[in-house]
Amino acid sequence: TQLLEQSPQFLSIQEGENLTVYCNSSSVFSSLQWYRQEPGEGPVLLVTVVTGGEVKKLKRLTFQFGDARKDSSLHITAAQPGDTGLYLCAGGDFGNEKLTFGTGTRLTIIP
Amino acid sequence: ETGVTQTPRHLVMGMTNKKSLKCEQHLGHNAMYWYKQSAKKPLELMFVYSLEERVENNSVPSRFSPECPNSSHLFLHLHTLQPEDSALYLCASSQLTSGNSDTQYFGPGTRLTVL
């Protein structure tokens, strides 16, 4: 069974601070996706990384896929209240349709 | 309409009721999924349909019955549910290429409460 552990589980920081969220597994994934989910809504895709060592930047968000394709990180600089939400990583499986979702990180940015 | 839509958004039902959840995707995708999201647990995959055929059933109880009449529509029929089935039920779709998982796009979910 593939498992994706996210850390920290909860994070509450002041607006303007930087933060990093981690997604770790002992399994190798074909791709790694990050989603953000707001209360009462479905997860919304932020990014997909597919190559080991890949780094993608979306404005203040930086995503990295580990060289061994087993882990990923999400770094947010100068956090804003609009970044508040549940962040989910999800690993793609080789040769089938399945995604394995992480345990989630609930982020709160305090104005 | 764009993306993935789900109806109803909220549903309260008794344990003896029969109800159905509906999902529709407007993205031209060839795979659809049902997930269950409970508090303090990771998203649980329930069912996967690829090209309208069910390819995954993650040991889901028979009181949940999926139906995929075409590539754009997915239903989850519910009967004799238990209170522990209360959760957010999410539908997603994706475009499969060469059998590999691809980006999944989620609907807003149906918040189900079983009394």
Distance CA(B48)–CA(B74), nearest Å, equals 10
Distance CA(B93)–CA(B107), nearest Å, equals 9
Nearest Cα to Cα of residue A47 among A22, A74, A23, A71 = A74
Which residues are CB-neighbours of A59 under 8 A, at least 6 positions away?
Answer: none
pLDDT at res. B100: 55
Q: Chain A window 17-46: which residues touch B at a Cβ cutoff of 8 Å? A: 30-31, 33, 35, 40-45
B31 CB neighbours in chain A (<8 A) are: 97
Confidence bin at B55 (pLDDT 50/70/90): confident
Distance CA(A68)–CA(A96), nearest Å, equals 20
Distance CA(A26)–CA(A69), nearest Å, equals 10
Q: Between A and B, how many CB-CB pairs are < 8 A? A: 65
pLDDT at res. A1: 65
Distance CA(B2)–CA(B8), nearest Å, equals 17
Portion of chain B with pLDDT greater than 90, in percent:
70
Most A-contacting residue of B25, B43, B55 (CB-CB within 10 A), to test interface: B43
Please name the member of A30, A45, A104 whose beta carbon is closest to the beta carbon of B101.
Answer: A30
Confidence bin at B95 (pLDDT 50/70/90): confident
Most B-contacting residue of A97, A101, A106 (CB-CB within 10 A), to test interface: A97
Q: Rounded mean pLDDT of A84-92?
A: 94
Q: Rounded mean pLDDT of A80-87?
A: 96
Please name the member of A42, A95, A97 whose beta carbon is closest to the beta carbon of B108.
Answer: A42
pLDDT digits (tens, 9 = 90+) for A4-45: 999 999 999 999 999 999 999 999 998 899 999 998 889 999
